[in-house]
Structure formats: C-alpha cells, structure tokens
Amino acid sequence: MTDRTGTEARDTAGALPPALRGLTGAEVAERVARGEVNDVPVTSSRSLAEIVRSNIFTRFNAIIGVLFLIILVVGPIQDGLFGFVIIANTGIGIFQEWRAKKTLDGLAVIGEAKPVVRRDGVPTRVPTSGIVLGDLMELGPGDKVVVDGEVAEADNLEVDESLLTGEADPVVKHPGDPVMSGSFVVAGGGAFTATKVGREAYAAQLAEEASRFTLVHSELRSGISRILKYVTWMMVPTAIGLIVSQLVLETDDWREAVRRMVGGIVPMVPEGLVLLTSVAFAIGVVRLGRKQCLVQELPAIEGLARVDVVCLDKTGTLTEGGMDVSALRLLDGLPEPYVRQVLGAVSASDPRPNPTLAAVAEAYPAPGDGWHVTEALPFSSARKYSGAAFTEPDGDSSTWLLGAPDVLLPGGDRALAEIDDLNAQGLRVLLLARARKGLADPAVTASVTPAALVVLEQRLRPDAGDTLRYFAEQDVQAKVISGDNAVSVGAVAGKLGLPGAHAPVDARRLPADRGEMAAVLDRGTVFGRVTPQQKRDMVGALQSRGHNVAMTGDGVNDVLALKDADIGVAMGSGSEATRAVAQIVLLNNSFATLPSVVAEGRRVIGNITRVATLFLTKTVYSVLLALLVVIWHAPYPFLPRHLTLLSTLTIGVPAFFLALAPNKERAKPQFVRRVMRYSLPAGVIAGVATFVTYLLARHHYQGPDALPAETSAATLTLFLIAMWVLAIVARPYTWWRVVLVLAMGAAFLVVLAVPWLQDFFALRLVGTQAPWTAVAVAVAASAVLEVVWRRVYRADSDEQGTAPDRP
C-alpha cells in the first residue's frame, strides 16, 4: 500500500484478514457510548479558570485587598485609589493571558497530528481524541505512538522508547509485542491494537505528573519569584514596626494613623511586576501566533532569546524537503534500463519512503509484474541505507542496498573520488549496490558490488541565507549537524554564506570524550554523517561548555537531540514525534521565522529587566522610608493617595509602554543580581533624599497644618528623583520615550496647578523656601544617582564583555 489513505488502500481492503480490518463503524459507536475514548485534554496552555485563579489569588493581591478594605472603612476614598488600580491591572492580565491561550489553542489544533486508524479495512485519519479502545492504528517512520497497544502486524518495525525508558537503542517489534504511548517509530512500519486509551495510557499518566505548561525553565519567572520572596521577608517586619509606631504617635487620631500606616505598606508591594511579566509573555505569544509559530510552552520565548548556539539540521531547515534526481551514473557496466528497474523496485519496497527515497521513486517508477519482494529493510538514520531482496522476472534472486556511498563502500574505493567531487558541488549522492549476503546479516555491507550513483539536487530555502546572517549579527553561533555527507553539507552551507563551511567535519571521526568533542564543536561549524545518538551527545557537549543550545529539525532522527536541547524547534511538516517533544513548532515550515522568536524573547527579557528596576526601586525606598520613620519616631510622610499618584506617573503607566516596546538587546544571565545592582542603590538614594527633605520641612513648618506642607515637600523630592530613575531606564532615547517621560512630568505639574486636584491628592506647596529646598535635594540626589548608575552599568558591561550602550 503506497498510500495509506488513498485509492489503492481501499481497493485492497477486502483482501485483509478480519483481524487486520480494524473496528467497524458500529463497534466504534458502541465504544464511544461506553466512554472508551482517548479523552486526554490538550495541556499546551492553562485553562481559563487557572488563568483567573493565578491572576487574582496571589500573595500580594491578598495584602493589597486587606489594606484596601481597611481604607474603605477609615476613608476617604482617594486614599483607596491603589485598590482600583490593582483591580484594573488584574483584569488586564487575565484578558491578555486568555487572549494568548486562544491563540495557543487555535495553533495547536492546526498543528495537531492526526494518526491513521484502520476501520472497516480502510485507513482513516482521525484526531487523537477520536481514537477508541480496540482501534487498529497504522505506524510508519516518524509516527508517535499516542496510546498503549499491542503490535498486530510489523514490517521491520523499529520503535525508539528512549523518551520513556532512557534506552537509546531502537527496539525491534514483532506481532504480540507491547508498544507504549510516548515512543515513536524510527524505521519500518506496522499496526497495533489500542489496549489503553485516555488517562490510562502510560504517556498520559506521565503528563499529569508534569504539565507541559511548566516544563521549560524560565530564569525570568524564577528570578521574579525569588525577588518577591525577598520583598516579603523585608516587608513583614517593617510593616509591623510601622503599624506600632504610627498608632503610638497618633493616639488622638487613630484613623490618620491607619491611613499613614497603609501609605507606608502599599508601595512596598511590587504588584505590577508579575502582571507585566504575564502580559509581556502573553502578547509575545499572540505576536508569534500571527506568524504561524506555535509556542507550546510560554517560557520558550525567553529560552530562545538566551540561546547562543543554534544547531541546524540541513534537510528541511537549510534546504526544502523535496529533492530532484539530476543524474544517474552507471558503475558496473549494467544496462541502464535494468538499473532503472532495480531503483524503481527498491523505492517501491518501502511503503513509507523518506523524502530522498520519494525523489528516487518519482524519477524511477516501480517496474511491472515479475519483481517480487522477498525481504525489505527500511531506511534508518543509524544505518544510513535501506535495502530489498527480490525474485526477478527471470527467476533469479538478488539483494540490493541503496544509501550513503561512504558507508557502503570501503575507504579508498575508486568510486569515492567521483563522489567527493559531486558532494563538493552541494549535490547529494546515493549508491545502488548489489549485496552478496542477506539483509539480516550484520555484515551485509562488507562485500557489495557498486552498480550506480544516483545524484540528487537539493532545493535551498530562499530565506536560509538571511536567517544565518541574522544569527551571526546577533552573536549566535550556527552549527549545521546533518546525517548527510560532510562535504556535501559543507557545500550547501557555503552557498548560504555560513562562516567555516569550507572545513566540514566528518562526525565519524569525532572523539567520544565529551570534553574533547566540545572542543571540536567550538572550532567547527559543519558536521556530517552524524548519527541520532551523536546529535544528542553533541548537544550535551555544547551545554557542558556553558552554551545555551537550540536544536532545529523535522525528522525522527532529530527527536533525541530536540529533547535534550535547551530549546527544541520543530517544523510543522516534520514527524509527529519531533513536534511532540519540541517547545516551538514553526507551522509554516519557515526557518526564517526563528529570528522573530529570538527578537520577541529579547524584547520580553530586556523590557522586563527595565521595568523590574522601576518596581524594585520603589520597594527599596518604601522599606527604607518606613524604617527611618520608625527610628525617628516621626509620622509617616505620605498618605496612600500620594504614593498611588507617584507610582502611576513614574512606574505604572511608563512601565506598561516600556514593557511592550521594541528591544533588541541581547539577553544577559543573572537576572536577579543585575536588577538588584541597579534598584538597590537607586532606592537607597531616593529614600534617604526624601527623608532629608521631610526632616528639613518638619523643621521649617510649624503649627497644626504643618504635616500636609511637609508631605507635599517630601512628595516633590521623591517625584523628581523617581522621574530621573525613569529617565535613566528609558535610555536609549527615541522620540516616543522622550514624549513619555515629559508627559509624566507634565501630569504631575497639572496636579500641582489645578486647585481641585490639589485638594483631591492633598498636595499644596506652601511658601518658596521649602519647595526649592526639595528641588535642590532632588537635583543633588539625581546627580549622585547618575554617577552610581554609570559605574554600575560599566561594571555590568565589563562582566558581560559588551560595550556599554546606555548608562
């Protein structure tokens, strides 16, 4: 059966024995009625309920919620503005993540593989959820076993169970042998009967223990979680001290004491940081979804941005999947018509040909009656050849091999020189050879007679060269790792302008030691004749040198390496197994989409680092102010409305725009350390300067109305310093960043100038001496802040080995 869902399959359905005809329509309906269906839900993203729950029921929302209720009791409402801001932020977070979920789920349906089941003797493609208990499912190279079962028929069926057992060697399966969901076919074909479906299947049980949504490590999210843990440790004792001190100081007005206490606690909470991280990831998913890129795990966007080595499989990545036979060169004096018949018979012997064999089959159709296959050996990436034994029309028996010439021929064979010349032109060459031993003999390649060379021309992807140049510009090394001849792969990579392509490495000569292999990999760019296990070892060797490795591929031979890489990228047209283990699937099969994913990840990481600095600067100065107030036994200088205004103008609104802006900065490691190196000194300088202004204002103003004037002076100093922090974070400047900073400053001036806004926010600058003193303190603090940040940035750049582009 050359086409499992085509006309020929239907014509021969009646010839199948009853045990291999599959279920009838009535039997399928009966099993569906009993609930014996494969009802495992897709877990590519969180459910709507989980999204709502995770955005609402957070530690900091609980703290803010309690404080909001307290303000509603003691009033006035303008001191509770922070509560409405949190409600709005949470709603935005839920909406954006739900929008991303819809995009993810829609793309997952497009990219979902549909296995082939045999019903009433006819092969039919059904969705994974349409499989029922007892279905007879067909298998071919690259197919993933989606439910547990028992082999019913096998044609040289080899199954890789390494993703389940850890054993790398393929397992030959015979009728009656079990197959487990989560394994995949590497060679041959067959069919199996589903014995366990739904949540009873082995892979489904594993999936319930580890949801796909959280498989990829995210330094960004784990770093933010660690920061929030530190904040909680600082916040709890500081808040307790602040509560006690304010209640003791304001015994005659407990409502004022409560308002001042809430005003001290609220700004300690970096509540918007988690929200903006979720929003940035969600918008990234939506943007990539528009480019037909399925991000199966959200943190994979960040992971690819941190990658510094991309391992590329040539076929399907640098070249298009199809090939064309360009020449046939005879070697042994056999007549060309006979060789053409042999090639047609060999290619027709494999019911599931790979792209190479499909090109041969297209050029040389199967011969007519008289050629009977007695034994077949499907192509395997580990073997590098396929084979078939025939009874020919004249009654003679023959065994033929078709595969890699440098694998089938001994070194020094005269035919290899001609092959090297062809490979150097970027052509792919197959050798047709007659074997003297049976296909089951391990030494079948030991003594073969070369018959002909089949020359194939590969189709380069038109966008591959530009993509390779993009990675070079971004300091991401590209390594081409292929199972094809090294010289041929090097020629293809050379046409695309890949540096180092002129010196390809034959992987059969790579050292087995991981350290020595890593040294060769660091020097080389193109590697040929790589086995599937070697691909996996090469990924591990690169990771041992501290590299973040991405692996791209579309064939079943790429699965192990995709699984072990930091980020696996599969083509949408690739095998089901590769799509199952990859974190990113390019549904449009375009390698040119990868730069968009890298750019999106860098945008997310760079912008979250920027806005995290704003949020944590606020947390640091809030904690410091609370401590200083407790130590000095002074009333807390701010009401909640003051800090809500400052947070909105210097953090909330600017952070939203900065988090979604374009950003091409290369992702840098140690997120927590880098953010704290900036926000800690900024927060200390802002807190100390604000408290100095507060003490000077307390000395200057006297009388019962002194506290509002003191608060206004301190607010002015804090706003000016926070604006300078924003101005630094917004660098390098573009027109819209300058407008953003100026607009926030103008908004504050409007509050100071409009009488009813002055009353609403309780802000009124009294006299000239204290306000100008507040400005002078802010200017001096900003100058110190600029010097400190320049030193920190220079040190940070020296550590990363990059030239500073912004202080």
Answer whether 484's CB lies under 8 Å from 423's CB.
no
Long-range contacts of 606-610 (CB under 8 A, 24+ apart): 606/663, 606/664, 606/665, 606/667, 607/280, 607/658, 607/659, 607/660, 607/661, 607/663, 608/220, 608/276, 608/277, 608/280, 608/659, 609/671, 609/674, 609/675, 610/658, 610/659, 610/663, 610/729
In order of their start, the domains of the chain are 291-318+461-597 (3.40.50.1000), 322-458 (3.40.1110.10)
pLDDT value of position 745? 95
CA 320 to chain centre: 23
**Amino acid present at 625:** L
pLDDT value of position 41? 55
Rounded to two decimals, the pTM is 0.69
Sort 732 into a burial class: Cβ within 10 Å, 0-12 / 13-18 / 19+: exposed
**Amino acid present at 39:** D
pLDDT value of position 805? 43
DSSP letter string over 3-49? -TTSHHHHHTGGGS-GGGS-B-HHHHHHHHHHT-B--PPP-SS--HH
Binned average pLDDT, 10 residues per bin, the chain of 807 residues: 36 60 88 83 65 79 83 81 76 77 66 80 86 90 85 86 66 89 82 86 52 53 78 79 76 72 80 75 80 77 83 79 82 87 89 81 85 86 85 88 88 78 83 89 85 86 86 88 85 87 89 89 90 88 91 78 86 74 82 83 83 89 89 84 90 87 75 86 95 91 78 94 94 92 95 91 86 95 93 73 46
Residues serving a catalytic function are: 313
Say how far apart CA 182 and CA 193 lie, in whole Å. Answer: 15
Note the residue count of the chain: 807
Say how far apart CA 127 and CA 116 lie, in whole Å. Answer: 9
pLDDT value of position 731? 87
From residue 478, give the alpha-carbon distance in Å to each of 95, 117, 464, 790: 38, 40, 12, 34
Kindly give the pairing relationship between strand 584-586 and strand 293-295: antiparallel
